[in-house]
Amino acid sequence: MGLKHMAEGKEEVMEEPGDIELEEELTERIKEDFLPVELTATSEDFSEMPIEEAYAEDIVVMLGRADEGEIKLGDIELKVNKCELPEKIKVELKHKLRAVRTNLTCEKLDDILRTVVAKYEKAKVDPREAVGIVAAQSIGEPGTQMTMRTFHYAGVGAIYITLGLPRIIEIVDARKKLSTPTMTIKLLGEYASERNKAEELAMEIQETHIRDIGRIGISTEDMSVWLSLNERELDKRHIKREEVEEKIKGISADMLVEVLEDGRLRIRRESGSFHELSKLERAVSNTLVKGIEGIRRVLARRETDSEYVLYTVGSELKRLKNHKIEGVDFKRTKTNNIGEIAEVLGIEAARNAIIDEMMSTLKEQGLDVDARHITLIADAMTMDGEVKQIGRHGIAGGKASVLSRAAFEVTVDNLLEAAIHGETDELKGVTENVIVGQAIKLGTGAVELVAGK
C-alpha cells in the first residue's frame, strides 16, 4: 500500500511502513496540514442538523476555544447559553455581541454578561408584589394630566383623530363604535411614490354613493325618479356613466332606466304608488357605486420618508382585506379599532394593538409610563381569547368576589343578586379585605410567621 502526499508542488512517495509507523506518520501530517477553522455555526444552526445535542455542544466547545485572547463565536454562544436569562434576551444578546466580537476579550465578555444578568434580576418583580394596583396607579396618575383634545390632518376635508384621555377611555372600555375610527393604509410600488397614483387609489377606496355624484328628484307626474349626474365629480372619482346605470339596474329586476337627450336619467318601476316612489328614491340615493362601504373619506399625505400614505375616515379592515385592491400593502396597514383587529388578525394582534395605541397616546401627551404596566393591562383584557373591557361588563364584573364586584359599580344590584343565589365570598382579593378591615394577602401580608417555642 502506498501513500502519496503533495507538498510545495512536489510529489513524494512514501514507503510502506508498519501499522504503528503508519499511524504515527498520519497523526503528524494531520497536525501539520489540518488546522481547525473558526466556527461560524451556532447552537441554533446545529439544532436544524441531524446531530445529537451532546455532540453539537462538543463541536462548539472544540472549535470555539479562545486563541491568544481572541473571542470566538463559540465562546459567545456557550457563555450566553449558560446565563439564566429568557430566550428572547439571549438571542438579542448574542446578535449584539457577535457584532463587536473583535473588540472583546474574555474579561470584557464576562463583565458584560454579569452586568446583563444583574440588571435582569433587578428588573424582576418581587414576589407577592401588587402589580395590578401599581399598574393602575401608574396609568391613572398621568391620566389626570391628559388633555381632552383631537388631532387633525390638514388638507382637503381634514381628518380628525381622538387623542388624550378620551382615547385611553375608548381603549380600556373596548368600545365597538369609536368616535373617530381611522385606518393608516400603506402603499406599494408606484402608488407609494407618485401623488397622482396615490390619489387615484384613495378614490378607489373611498365610498361613493349616487347622492355624492349627482342631484336626485321625484316627479309625481310620470311617477319616476330623475337623476342629474355631475360630470366634474365623475371625473374626479374616475367613474363612468355606464357604471352608474349598471348599479341602478342592479337594485332590482324590474328597474327601468332611460337616458334622455340632456344626459339626465329617468328611473322608474312597474308598480307606481307614491310610497313605492319614495322608497325607490332612497334606494337610488344610497346605492354604492364605488369604494368600500364605511370608509367615508380618504386623504393621501406624503410622509417624512418620501412615501405616500392614505388616512381614512372610517375603519373597515375586513372589507379592505377582502377587496384585495392593487397597490395596498395590507401587511403594513393599521387601524385604531381594536375590535376589528381581533376579528381579522386574531387576539395576539389585538393585544399588541392595545399596547401600541396606549403607548403612542401617552407619548404624544409627553407622559412616560413603563411599558410593563401597559402590557399587564393588555394581557388582562385579552387573556380569555376575546377583548374585554375593564368595567362591570368585562374584567371587574367577572370577578368571583361579591364585595369586589359591589365596590366597583351598581352596589345594591350586585349584593341582591349574590344574596338571591347564596354566593360566598372567600375574601382572597385586595378590595374585599380592605372593605372588611383585614390585612391584605400581598407583600408582607402574604407571609404568616409562627413563633417557635
At residue 29, the pLDDT reads 53
At residue 12, the pLDDT reads 41
Q: Name the amino acid, one letter, at 93.
A: L
Q: Which residue has the cell 512517495?
A: 13
Q: What are the phi and psi torsion angles at 78 (to 5°)?
A: -70, -45
At residue 355, the pLDDT reads 95
Q: Residue 204 and residue 185: Cα distance in Å, rounded? A: 13
Q: Residue 417 and residue 156: Cα distance in Å, rounded? A: 55
At residue 196, the pLDDT reads 87
Task: For residue 51, give Cα distances in angstroms to 42, 62, 119, 353.
Answer: 13, 15, 35, 41
Q: Cβ(161)–Cβ(285) under 8 Å?
A: no
Residues of the chain with pLDDT under 50: 1-17, 30-40, 65-68, 156
Q: Residue 442 and residue 432: Cα distance in Å, rounded? A: 13
Model pTM score: 0.71
At residue 7, the pLDDT reads 39
At residue 43, the pLDDT reads 53
Of 287, 282, 288, the C-alpha closest to 205 is: 288
At residue 36, the pLDDT reads 43
Q: Residue 3 and residue 1: Cα distance in Å, rounded? A: 7
Spatial neighbors of 451 by CB under 8 A, at least 6 apart, are: none
224-229 and 214-219: which strand pairing? antiparallel
Three-state DSSP string of the chain:
CCEEEEECCEEEEECCCCHHHHHHHHHHHHHHHCCCCCCCCCHHHHHCCCCCHHHHHHHHHHHCCCECCECCHHHHHHHHHHCCCCHHHHHHHHHHHHHCHHHCCHHHHHHHHHHHHHHHHHHCCCCCCCHHHHHHHHHHHHHCCCCCCEEEECCCCCEEEECHHHHHHHHHCCCCCCCCCCEEEEECHHHHHCHHHHHHHHHHHCCEEHHHCEEEEEECCCCEEEEEECHHHHHHCCCCHHHHHHHHHCCCCCCEEEECCCCCEEEECCCCCHHHHHHHHHHHHCCEEECCCCCCEEEEEECCCCCEEEEEECCCHHHHHHHCCCCEEEEEEEECCHHHHHHHHCHHHHHHHHHHHHHHHHHHCCCCCCHHHHHHHHHHHHCCCCCCCCCCCCCHHHCCCHHHHHHHCCHHHHHHHHHHHCCCCCCCCHHHHHHHCCCCCCHHHHCCCCCCC
Q: Name the amino acid, one letter, at 267.
A: I
Q: Cβ(284)–Cβ(210) under 8 Å?
A: yes
Q: Cβ(287)–Cβ(209) under 8 Å?
A: yes
What domains can be seen in the chain, in order of their start residue?
43-123 (no CATH), 131-177+336-390 (1.10.1790.20), 208-290 (3.30.1360.140), 396-446 (1.10.150.390)
Of 442, 430, 429, 438, the C-alpha closest to 400 is: 429
Q: Residue 8 and residue 302: Cα distance in Å, rounded? A: 65
